[in-house]
C-alpha cells in the first residue's frame, strides 16, 4: 500500500486510482517537441497529483504537446531556474519533482519518492540515472554520475531532483542563475536535511553526449563543476558552456 502522508505535510489528494497523490511533477521546456510526449506519458502514473509544464518560449510544437497531456501549461521567463520556480509556485503537491523534458521516470516512481520523503530527516532526493541510447562509455558515464552523487549527496537535474514543498520554500527555491542551479540547490538541501539517493533509475537522453562527443562532454562538465566550486560565477560558466557546444 502506498504511504498516506509525507513527513507531516497536510496536503493530500487522491488520483483516479485511489492513490494518495502528494506529488507535483514540474517540467521546464524550450523546443522539446521530439522528447516531451514520451516524458509526459511516463510521468502520468498513480500517485501524481499534477503535471506542470512551464515553457520558456518554444517555437515548435512543445506547447501543443504539453496542452494535450499536462494538467497545467503556462509560460515563464526563459531560464531553467526561473521556469522551475514558477512551476513550484503553481504546484499543489506536498512534494515537488523537477523533471527534464528528455528524462523518463520509472514505473512506480511516485510511491518510491513518497516513501523516501517519509524517512526521518529527509527533505528530498534524486534518482540514479541511465543514459540511453547506451554504449560502454555512456554506461560508465552514468555509473560515475551515480557514484559521485551518492558520495557527495549533490545531484544534477538529469537525476529528477525532488524535494518537500515546505523545504523548497524555506530554501528560497532555485537560485536565479543561468547554470549550476541544480548543484546549488542540492548543496543547500544537504546542509538542511537528509538527501535520499534512490537506486531506482530514471532514463535520460544521451543526446548531449552524442552531439558534442562523449569524452569532450565529460571533461567539459567536470571542468565547469570544478570551476563553480572554486567560485567562478555561473554567468561566466554559461558563456564558456555556450562557446564549447
What digits encode the pLDDT tens for the residues 31-72? 999 999 999 999 999 999 999 999 999 999 999 999 999 999
For the chain, what is the total number of helices (H) and then of strands (E)? 10, 8
Whole-number Å distance between alpha carbons of 124 and 116 = 8
Per-residue cell: 200:
531506482
Residue 13, in any domain of the structure: no
Provide the domain count of the chain. 1
Mean pLDDT of 207-228: 74
d(CA 40, CA 45) in angstroms, rounded, equals: 10
What rounded mean pLDDT belongs to the chain? 88
pLDDT at 245 over 50: yes
pLDDT at 82 over 50: yes
| Domain assignment present for 176 | yes
What residue numbers bound the domain in which 161 lies? 23-244
CA distances from 151 to 124, 144, 190, 197 (A): 16, 11, 12, 9
The whole-angstrom separation of Cα 77 and Cα 228 is 24
Amino acid 209: pLDDT: 73
Decide if 1 is inside a domain.
no
pTM of the model: 0.87
CATH classification at residue 213:
3.90.550.10
Amino acid at each position: 500500500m502506498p504511504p498516506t502522508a509525507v513527513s507531516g505535510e497536510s496536503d493530500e489528494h487522491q488520483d483516479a486510482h485511489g492513490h494518495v497523490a502528494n506529488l507535483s511533477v514540474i517540467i521546464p521546456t524550450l523546443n522539446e517537441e521530439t522528447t516531451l510526449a514520451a516524458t509526459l506519458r511516463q510521468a502520468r502514473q498513480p500517485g501524481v497529483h499534477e503535471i506542470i509544464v512551464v515553457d520558456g518560449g518554444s517555437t515548435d510544437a512543445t506547447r501543443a504537446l504539453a496542452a494535450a497531456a499536462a494538467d497545467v501549461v503556462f509560460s515563464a521567463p526563459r531560464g531553467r531556474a526561473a521556469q522551475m520556480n514558477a512551476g513550484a509556485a503553481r504546484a499543489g503537491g506536498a512534494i515537488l519533482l523537477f523533471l527534464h523534458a528528455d528524462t523518463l521516470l520509472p514505473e512506480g516512481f511516485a510511491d518510491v519518492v513518497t516513501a523516501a520523503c517519509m524517512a526521518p530527516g529527509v527533505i528530498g532526493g534524486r534518482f540514479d540515472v541511465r543514459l540511453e541510447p547506451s554504449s560502454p562509455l555512456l554506461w560508465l558515464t552514468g555509473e560515475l554520475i551515480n557514484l559521485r552523487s551518492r558520495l557527495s549527496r549533490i545531484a544534477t537535474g538529469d537525476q529528477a531532483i525532488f524535494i518537500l514543498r515546505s523545504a523548497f520554500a524555506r530554501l528560497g527555491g532555485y537560485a536565479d542563475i543561468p547554470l549550476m542551479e541544480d548543484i546549488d540547490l542540492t548543496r543547500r538541501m544537504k546542509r538542511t536535511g537528509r538527501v535520499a539517493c534512490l537506486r531506482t533509475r530514471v532514463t535520460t537522453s544521451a543526446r548531449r553526449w552524442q552531439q558534442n562527443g562523449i569524452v569532450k562532454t565529460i571533461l567539459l562538465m567536470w571542468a565547469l563543476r570544478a570551476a563553480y566550486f572554486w567560485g567562478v560565477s555561473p554567468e561566466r560558466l554559461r558563456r564558456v558552456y555556450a562557446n564549447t557546444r
